[in-house]
Homo-oligomer: A and B are copies of this chain.
Amino acid sequence: MERSTSIHREITAAVLVIGDEILSGRTQDQNTAYIARYLAQLGVDLREARIVPDVADEIVAAVDALRARYTYVFTTGGIGPTHDDITADAIARAFGVEIGEDPRAMALLAKRIRPEDMNAARRRMARIPKGAELVANAISAAPGFMIGNVVVMAGVPVIMQAMLDAAAPRLATGVRVLVATIDADAIPEGRYAAELAQIAEADAGVAIGSYPSFTSAGVRSQIVLRSRDAGRLEAAANAVRALIARLQTDGTPI
């Protein structure tokens, strides 16, 4: 899908959130938005996200669909010590590789877990697919891992964030998307939509979105412009600013 006329190589990504607790509504997923903003800083475009339950077939199918399509896939959740943590095994199945206790992962666990506290459940956290590189983190003993183009991380946000920091230096990076946000304040979308569409159509290299919010003061909208080209972004943003300024001083009914 061509979304820009840029000649830069596009680095794309998908997030795969794994966990019954997200689909039941028990837990609000915050990792996707965090990863989205983090990747944006690296010039990596998040193109899709999926949430699947703790069911091996579902995880395998989603990983396979996403890894074939995007430069990277980031998974969150399912790598702890309990029976519902099945992500590592599912990833091994998706890649068709063996999985077993990884000596490097066992060494990391041994730094945090005393020998007398080590047990089968904790050793499960050292199960890593063959061929994977570990993704250590400063918060918990158990590592994530990277295999092929898939980065497998914890679901707990502080641990996931530490793993993302550890994985980032190994990722290919792209040209960052530049963003301009313009407040349309209380001007209704229906008043500026036609002219905004013209501005959007004039340059396919600038993506423009309009986002109303319901606030205590009433509906307030923002217009967000995104491009990898600073000059084209600024030209489109100036056109939008002029449109909004005109409507703000325009006395016709909304």
Given A30-B28, A224-B26, CB of A156 within 8 Å of CB of B214: yes
Chain B residues within 8 Å of A177, by CB: 24
Chain B residues within 8 Å of A201, by CB: 83
B58 adjacent to A48 (CB under 8 Å):
yes
Tell yes or no: A47 within 8 A of B by CB: yes
A77-133 contacts to B, CB under 8 A, are 80-84, 113-114, 116-117, 119-122, 124-125
Interface segment, one of A34-42, A163-171, A228-236, A241-249: A34-42
Tell yes or no: A46 within 8 A of B by CB: yes
A137-186 contacts to B, CB under 8 A, are 139, 156-159, 177, 179
| A interface, CB within 8 angstroms of B | 1, 3, 19-30, 32-37, 40, 46-55, 57-58, 80-84, 113-114, 116-117, 119-122, 124-125, 139, 156-159, 177, 179, 189-191, 193-194, 196-197, 200-201, 207-214, 224, 226, 253-254
18 residue pairs A–B, Cβ–Cβ below 8 Å? A1-B55, A3-B55, A20-B207, A24-B40, A24-B177, A24-B179, A25-B37, A25-B40, A26-B211, A26-B224, A29-B29, A29-B33, A48-B50, A80-B210, A81-B189, A83-B193, A83-B208, A114-B253
Chain B residues within 8 Å of A57, by CB: 1
Q: How many angstroms from the CA of A36 to the CA of B53 in the assembled complex?
A: 13
Given A82-B210, A156-B213, A189-B82, CB of A23 within 8 Å of CB of B48: yes
Chain B residues within 8 Å of A193, by CB: 81-83, 121-122, 124
Q: How many angstroms from the CA of A254 to the CA of B32 in the assembled complex?
A: 32
Q: How many angstroms from the CA of A24 to the CA of B181 in the assembled complex?
A: 13
Chain B residues within 8 Å of A122, by CB: 190, 193
Chain B residues within 8 Å of A26, by CB: 211, 224
